Structure 1
Amino acid sequence: MADHKFSIQGDSPAVDKLMFWRIVGHEVLARPSAYELTVLTDNESIDAADVLGRSFDVVIEFADADGNAHKRHCQGHAVRLTRVSQSGRFLEYRISLRSWFWLLSKRTNARILQNKPVLGVIDAVLDDSPVGSLKKIKAGGVVGPHAPHVYCVQYRESDYQFLSRLLEEEGIYYWFDAHDAPGTLYLSDTSTLAHEKLPAADTLNHVERGASEGRFNEITRWVSSRQFESGKFASRDRDFKVISKQLDADKGDPDTHELADLEVFEFPGGYQSGDDTDNLAQLRLDELVGRRQRHWALTGWPDVAAGRSFAFKGDPDGKRDGDYLIAACTFVASHPGYEGANFPESQRPIDVVLHEALADDPVNAGMAELVGDLIAETPTLRTGRQGACSFLLTAIPLNTPWRPPRMTPRVTMPGPQSAIVTGRSGEQIWTEEHGRVKVQFHWDRYGKNDENSSCWVRVSHPWAGKSWGAISIPRIGQEVIVDFLDGDPDQPIIIGRFYNGESMAPFGLPAGAVVSGIKSNTHKGKGYNELSMDDTAGKEKVTIHGQYDMNTTVENNQTTTVHNSRTDTIDVDDSESVGNNQMQHVGVDQSVSIGANRTETVGGTETITITGHRTETVNGGETVTVNGGRSHTVNGMQTTTISVAEAHTVGAGRMHSVGAGEAINVGGVQTVSVGGAQMVSVGGLQKVSVGALQSVSVGGPHKLSAAVISETSKGPIKIKAGAICMVEAPTIMLKAGGSKIVMNASGITIKGAKITIKADGTASFKAGGSIKIKGSNLGED
């Protein structure tokens, strides 16, 4: 110790007042370095404002066996100042120093980071923190694959806890350099490659305590431990995009002892893609394997520090010689003394380290008792007596991958939370193919209430099948209930929605409390669709409202029963299509009112049955077209009244049959036109009565046949022929009053009271036989 020199450097205004007395340190992988620095002042008090938060560097200067000078640094920031005691003119103070990374423990935050790898997360946190001004990081030791965190939440945890658990989960650890770059944080995920050798002497030789000079690169005590650890790791997780597929991973590296293949199984595995399974399983296995073998060594050589490697030589049986990584370093270094400064030996400094540092030591986890025994058995460590310089190392084989154990608790969300649905500006619904939405949590001070406020969050629905179920996408501005799968803040899921003072419930509460239902809101418009049920006693009602269209499809039968009245109002068109039969039953009356035209088309036969009377009124014209045959049967009396004209056109033959009497009454002129032949057959009496002139015009021969023909005229009867007028019968009789002419096969007989034959010209009488003229008086004019 006589050759060691101690100095205190830093940016504190009080640094020049401080005299080094003792330092107790604990340096360990994956944790900030912790130092308890005891200083003296020459009767000068220290103001805490000049110390706390300031950087201090305790420099130990030493020489190697060749006389070469070297320096070893203990750099940190003051986090506690304690006035301990006074001896003579000297005041004793204890300053607790921690690496700058520890300062992140004093800032608690809640934030969301997206699409950043773990190194990017570290940068984002530090860039947002006042501690970021102290940032000195070298990440060249991080060489493994580290996928970006699509969604990463810090919630109710300090920046230190947040970054620590992320690094532990990804198998990345850190240490602070004590040689070339004091205060620099080194990051690594490959312990077999990332660590430089000790700069002053890269080999530490084992020497029995009695033979040691106690000043150079010697190890005076070496303790080894090998413990039982699980030799296999397995995990399982899920990816909702292929939810039926189990994302399994397993890795194994059993030790050589019995039952070494016991397995550790974890669910969830911490991955949501099959691409990450093997890598994460290997990380977890490395975490187990790295705890199997640990070694502890005592030395007085100040060159040793956590994060450096060395070669160990001189093991009595040679089995443990090899390269090792210093994973932890606990030490005490004391000044030889100042004249007039007499302070009793105290175990308090080392106790501080044991209780505060070893309690959270990821390297010596589970071995605190052994470490405590080693310290208790080493007086220089236990009491930190004047002139002491003693280091206790925890070493692991350099060829064994080491991963930090996951000691930092992962945040578990305490329960569901409220959030507001967000999305891109100008949109009302912001979603994607899986129906997920974005939300803004109330605790998120960094979110901008836009499409980047969160990851895509899955939404719970009443039903969710393969292209079937019930769905209602939360809309921007709605308040939703967010829970978290396995309590993981990185896996939010929407399980419900809230009404609030800005978004009140429909149907008007409390008056509308009896109304239940669904009411939507038109997207980018004004209107709604609604299905509601009013349970008011005596006024129960179901309301269905479609703002635009409404489509109903029933694949089989539909039955609708209305026990009272029903009203259907259609403001525009109505179309009804029945693929098969239709039956409509009206118990009493039916009234159909059509404001304009009506067209009825029957593809087959139509039958109309009316039990009572039927009245049909057509205020305009009526056209009935029958493309086939038509049968019109009236079992009772039929009356047809035509106020104006009536025209009947028959394209082919027509048959008119009347079972009883028929009367045709034409108030004006009746014209019957037959394009071809016309036959009128009357089984009984036919009587034609014409009130005025009757004219019969026949384009061809006119034939009249009857058993008896009788024609009676109240006036003259005139027969006129354009050519011959022939009357043929066995006997023809013309009779007027008492006179008559009879013609038959035997001759012609003219009988009358007076017979006159007068000719304006010549009158000739010619007979094949004789001509007889007989009278009582024959004369000539």
Structure 2
Amino acid sequence: MSFLTRKKFDFVSHGLATDTFGVVRFRGSEGFSKCYRFEIDLVSTEPQIDLRSLLSNPATFTLLRDEGDIPFHGMLAQFDQLHQVDEYVFYRAVLVPKLWWLTLTQHNQVFLDKNVPEILQDVMKDGGLTSLDFDLRLQADYPRREYVCQYGESHLDFLSRWMEREGMYYYFEQNENSEKLIITDTRIAHSEMDQGKNLYYSPPSALDEPHREEVINSFVCRQTALPRDVRLRDYNCQTPSLEMSASAHVSDQGRGEVYIYGDHFRTPEEGNALAKVCAEELLCKGERFYGESTIPYLRPGYLFDLQNHYRHSFNQGYLTIELEHEGSQTAFLLAGIRKELSDTERQPYYRNSFVAIPGSVQFRPERKTAKPRFYGTMKARIDAAGSGQYAELDEQGRYKVALPFDRSERMGGKASAWVRMMQPYAGADHGMHFPLHKGTEVLLTFVDGDPDRPIIAGAVPNPDAPSPVTSENATRCRMVSGSGNEIHMEDEAGSERILMNSPKKGGFIRIGAPNDPDWDKLMSKDGISLATGGSFDVKAQVWNVLILGESAAITVGMDNKFVGVLRVDSTIGARFNFPMLWEKKCGAEKTKWIGLTQKAAGSDVEISGNNVQAVGAIQRALGSKVDAAAMDTKMNALKTRVAANYSAAITAQTRLIANKSEVSAAKTEAVGQATRAAVQQSQAIADEATAAAQDSRLAATSAKSSASEFRAVVKRDIAAASRLRLRAERTVLTILDTQV
């Protein structure tokens, strides 16, 4: 039905006939970075309208005018059936743009390696918009971001907070059939209104001219105090030594400073861009103009020029940023109900109030959309490519994780950006790190509670990956690698021990209490091998004990030194063997070393089962000569060492000769004449040994002047010692033969 032949407002739902509804009155609001919303009271003669179908169909509310209609396209967010008066049924509709659909969502998702414009497009398309429903008119360059998280937010809140941060804002263009979302970051994207840019200021008076029906009848200015500067500061873990600070100037007349920390900018250049956006956000609040008008085509996002204001400086260009609409056709509501209507009630009207800023000022949206904060921990799993056991790490030792809420199904090392892991000890060229395996359950926390800045707090066990310490071994501190390498410390009273075990060769080291309960669980009991390509040094400040169960072998390639500062006790259980020199069997022999002189007291020398008494005169004489040779060689450290070694060899041979001479003397007492001959031969041998010692001293002295001569002397001494040894052996054999 047609309610009026000349109406000012119209509403059409595209699922119903165009004349189904008449508009009684309405209120609406629109502005930058907000979805417009019109609440429209309707009247109809149709009481059985399918209310659900209205919500799924587009609708259009139109301000009618002879010079061109002003449409508002969108969807119905709400539709109410109110009451009935006579044959009229009253309804209320709430009209919003399609962008409003994004408020119905709540999502948790991750965006990787995308810039903000790309993220905006992905989110809007996921919310039901097509590429025909929006247009990005951006001037700035937006760097790619490694990791962006939408956490517990609607799509619209997520888009809004990112646009507010980056200085983007949006408004709507109304075309013939639909609305289009315009996202911009620059004032040069705004254009003049199609209906004309000149708007006239004409306050209410009795002198209004007829052509001034659509005028601005109120226009006031508000100045607001501003801060002087904006300063930002942050920290980037990728450039820890680079100072992350930025600043921007707001107003010369400003007071104070706005200081913001933790805005998550990664370079000083990005920080300066953010500081500039913050400064422009504050600056566009410094001077605003509030007006009222009857101009229906006044819209946010469009420029106009004010004319005829009594303050000449106000007659300039402006950009409309907010608008409130109001209109009524009350005659619909009262017709047939009240017979008497006032002139005001009979006349439909339209008016609006608006907010504008100077056209030369860059608008920036207020940062009012709160960023979600996550204080606590979140479960995740280590993500990695391939089928290997270990997860891949980057050059910084970071991991990739699969978040529990992410529905992208990106796996194989593509579920996240690289994420750092907290360590108990870290620093330049030092620290700790136990590599995690693929699929390991970890707990994430977030720097400053920011979902865009995750960090691995630690790994946690579960029934599929149990803890190495349970109720069965609660007194143990254990560290077990994925391949079975283990270090554990047993703290049970009386069984304190430390065990290190590697399954490769079955080697282990145990310190502390014996009889480790896990002995039978070790892979092998073969022992431990210590090897080094260089030196191996073991030092004990007070004392050291080395106990070897069955046998021990110590092999020295070239040189061996055994030093006792005050006393050295050597205990040999069964046999003490000096190859090539002599062989002694003793139970508990004590040997005292003083310099290079040896005294043997109470020694038992066993040869063929006979006990003889050692006569030490010749030995002491030879020892004295060796001592003298050693003292002479102290002039030069290197030469002394060589001479001493050779002198020691001669001394050893001499002792052998002396011992055998003592045998000869003992035999002499038993066999008579043969003994005297042996003594004479022994004396001759002693004389030759004395001569050899003197030759050794001369050789050591000559070594000081000529190394080559010294080597010759040494060779001669060795030959002489060999001859002495052979003669001594022959002497002993002669004595034995004589005895026989």
Aligned equivalent of 2:267, options 262, 273, 278: 273
SS at match of 2:405: coil
Task: Establish whether residue 451 from structure 1 lines up as the match of residue 453 from structure 2.
Answer: no
* Maintained 8 Å contact 1:461/1:472: no
Hey, what's the Cα distance between the residues in 2 that align with 1:604 and 1:101? 89
Task: Establish whether residue 62 from structure 1 lines up as the match of residue 60 from structure 2.
Answer: no
Matched letter for residue 49 of structure 2: I
Task: Establish whether residue 36 from structure 1 lines up as the match of residue 39 from structure 2.
Answer: yes
Hey, what's the Cα distance between the residues in 1 that align with 2:87 and 2:293? 34
Hey, what's the Cα distance between the residues in 2 that align with 1:316 and 1:400? 23
Q: Residues 23-172 of structure 1 correspond to what in structure 2 (within 5 A)?
A: 23-63=26-66, 69-129=67-127, 131-133=128-130, 136-140=133-137, 142-172=138-168
Deviation at 1:315, TM superposition (A): 1.1
Deviation at 1:29, TM superposition (A): 0.6
Matched letter for residue 197 of structure 2: D
Task: Establish whether residue 205 from structure 1 lines up as the match of residue 203 from structure 2.
Answer: no
Structure 1 window deviating more from structure 2 (44-53 vs 166-175): it is 44-53
Matched letter for residue 174 of structure 2: A
* Maintained 8 Å contact 1:53/1:79: no
Task: Establish whether residue 436 from structure 1 lines up as the match of residue 394 from structure 2.
Answer: no
Q: Residues 720-759 of structure 1 correspond to what in structure 2 (within 5 A)?
A: none
Task: Establish whether residue 224 from structure 1 lines up as the match of residue 197 from structure 2.
Answer: no
Task: Establish whether residue 241 from structure 1 lines up as the match of residue 238 from structure 2.
Answer: yes
Matched letter for residue 354 of structure 2: L
Deviation at 1:384, TM superposition (A): 9.3
Deviation at 1:631, TM superposition (A): 11
What does the per-residue CA deviation read over 1:30-88, in whole Å, with 9 as the maximum and x for residues that have no partner? Answer: 1011111222212433221121142111223323xxxxx32211122101111233333
Are the structure 2 counterparts of residues 172 and 634 from structure 1 closer, same or farther at C-alpha, using a change threshold of 3 Å? same
Deviation at 1:213, TM superposition (A): 3.4
Hey, what's the Cα distance between the residues in 2 that align with 1:682 and 1:177? 129
Structure 2 spans left out of the alignment, 5+ residues: 520-524, 583-595, 610-648, 668-677, 685-740
Q: Residues 663-742 of structure 1 correspond to what in structure 2 (within 5 A)?
A: 681=681
Hey, what's the Cα distance between the residues in 1 that align with 2:371 and 2:171? 22
Hey, what's the Cα distance between the residues in 1 that align with 2:569 and 2:311? 121
SS at match of 2:495: coil
Matched letter for residue 384 of structure 2: G
* Maintained 8 Å contact 1:4/1:60: no
Aligned equivalent of 1:638, options 605, 618, 621: 605
Hey, what's the Cα distance between the residues in 2 that align with 1:611 and 1:622? 18
SS at match of 1:8: strand
Deviation at 1:434, TM superposition (A): 2.2
Hey, what's the Cα distance between the residues in 1 that align with 2:540 and 2:89? 110
Bigger Cα Rg: 1
Q: Residues 560-639 of structure 1 correspond to what in structure 2 (within 5 A)?
A: 570=527, 577-578=535-536, 593=551, 599-601=555-557, 603=559, 615-616=574-575, 636-639=603-606
Query: Which structure has more RCO (C-alpha within 8 Å, separation ≥ 6)?
Result: 1
Deviation at 1:617, TM superposition (A): 7.8
Aligned equivalent of 2:357, options 373, 387, 396: 396
Are the structure 2 counterparts of residues 301 and 212 from structure 1 closer, same or farther at C-alpha, using a change threshold of 3 Å? farther
SS at match of 1:177: strand
What does the per-residue CA deviation read over 1:375-432, in whole Å, with 9 as the maximum and x for residues that have no partner? Answer: xxxx99xx99851111222111110111000111111114221111112132422221
Hey, what's the Cα distance between the residues in 2 that align with 1:231 and 1:172? 23
* Maintained 8 Å contact 2:79/2:93: yes
Aligned equivalent of 2:487, options 508, 526, 531: 531
What does the per-residue CA deviation read over 1:693-722, in whole Å, with 9 as the maximum and x for residues that have no partner? Answer: xxxxxxxxxxxxxxxxxxxxxxxxxxxxxx
Hey, what's the Cα distance between the residues in 2 that align with 1:660 and 1:340? 150
The Cα RMSD (Å) is 4.2
Hey, what's the Cα distance between the residues in 2 that align with 1:198 and 1:318? 23
Q: Residues 257-336 of structure 1 correspond to what in structure 2 (within 5 A)?
A: 260-335=254-329
What does the per-residue CA deviation read over 1:139-183, in whole Å, with 9 as the maximum and x for residues that have no partner? Answer: 12x111222232111111111111111111111111111356741
Matched letter for residue 196 of structure 2: A
Aligned equivalent of 1:194, options 166, 189, 210: 189
Matched letter for residue 681 of structure 2: S
* Maintained 8 Å contact 1:3/1:62: no
* Maintained 8 Å contact 1:33/1:76: no
Are the structure 2 counterparts of residues 212 and 236 from structure 1 closer, same or farther at C-alpha, using a change threshold of 3 Å? farther
Instruction: Give me the TM-score of the superposition, normalised by structure 1.
Output: 0.68
Deviation at 1:186, TM superposition (A): 0.7
Hey, what's the Cα distance between the residues in 2 that align with 1:617 and 1:173? 96
Structure 1 window deviating more from structure 2 (397-406 vs 536-545): it is 536-545
* Maintained 8 Å contact 1:172/1:189: yes
* Maintained 8 Å contact 2:191/2:303: yes
* Maintained 8 Å contact 2:73/2:178: yes
Hey, what's the Cα distance between the residues in 2 that align with 1:243 and 1:14? 66
The aligned counterpart of 1:487 is 449
* Maintained 8 Å contact 2:25/2:330: no
What does the per-residue CA deviation read over 1:180-233, in whole Å, with 9 as the maximum and x for residues that have no partner? Answer: 674100111112x11111111211011232215376552112122111122311
What does the per-residue CA deviation read over 1:345-384, in whole Å, with 9 as the maximum and x for residues that have no partner? Answer: xxxxxxxxxxxxxxxxxxxxxxxxxxxxxxxxxx99xx99
* Maintained 8 Å contact 2:21/2:43: yes
The aligned counterpart of 2:646 is none
* Maintained 8 Å contact 1:532/1:544: yes
Are the structure 2 counterparts of residues 569 and 320 from structure 1 closer, same or farther at C-alpha, using a change threshold of 3 Å? same
The aligned counterpart of 2:701 is none
Deviation at 1:578, TM superposition (A): 4.5
How many percent of aligned residue pairs carry the same amino acid? 20
Structure 1 spans left out of the alignment, 5+ residues: 64-68, 345-378, 522-526, 553-559, 643-650, 666-677, 685-781
* Maintained 8 Å contact 2:331/2:345: no
* Maintained 8 Å contact 2:495/2:513: no
Aligned equivalent of 2:497, options 526, 532, 541: 541
Matched letter for residue 48 of structure 2: S
Hey, what's the Cα distance between the residues in 1 that align with 2:313 and 2:438? 68
Are the structure 2 counterparts of residues 410 and 607 from structure 1 closer, same or farther at C-alpha, using a change threshold of 3 Å? closer
Hey, what's the Cα distance between the residues in 2 that align with 1:561 and 1:502? 32
Deviation at 1:333, TM superposition (A): 3.0
Are the structure 2 counterparts of residues 652 and 531 from structure 1 closer, same or farther at C-alpha, using a change threshold of 3 Å? closer
**Which structure dedicates a bigger proportion of its chain to helix?**
2
Hey, what's the Cα distance between the residues in 2 that align with 1:295 and 1:385? 33
* Maintained 8 Å contact 1:205/1:314: yes
Matched letter for residue 542 of structure 1: I
* Maintained 8 Å contact 1:215/1:301: no
Structure 1 window deviating more from structure 2 (563-572 vs 91-100): it is 563-572
What does the per-residue CA deviation read over 1:558-608, in whole Å, with 9 as the maximum and x for residues that have no partner? Answer: xx99798999963667679446999998889976526xx874446256689
Are the structure 2 counterparts of residues 61 and 249 from structure 1 closer, same or farther at C-alpha, using a change threshold of 3 Å? same
Instruction: Give me the TM-score of the superposition, normalised by structure 2.
Output: 0.72
SS at match of 2:474: helix
* Maintained 8 Å contact 1:412/1:488: yes
Kindly tell me the number of residue pairs found equivalent between the two proteins: 600
* Maintained 8 Å contact 2:375/2:446: no
Are the structure 2 counterparts of residues 264 and 339 from structure 1 closer, same or farther at C-alpha, using a change threshold of 3 Å? closer
* Maintained 8 Å contact 1:312/1:323: yes
Structure 1 window deviating more from structure 2 (490-499 vs 584-593): it is 584-593
Deviation at 1:291, TM superposition (A): 0.7
The aligned counterpart of 2:249 is 252
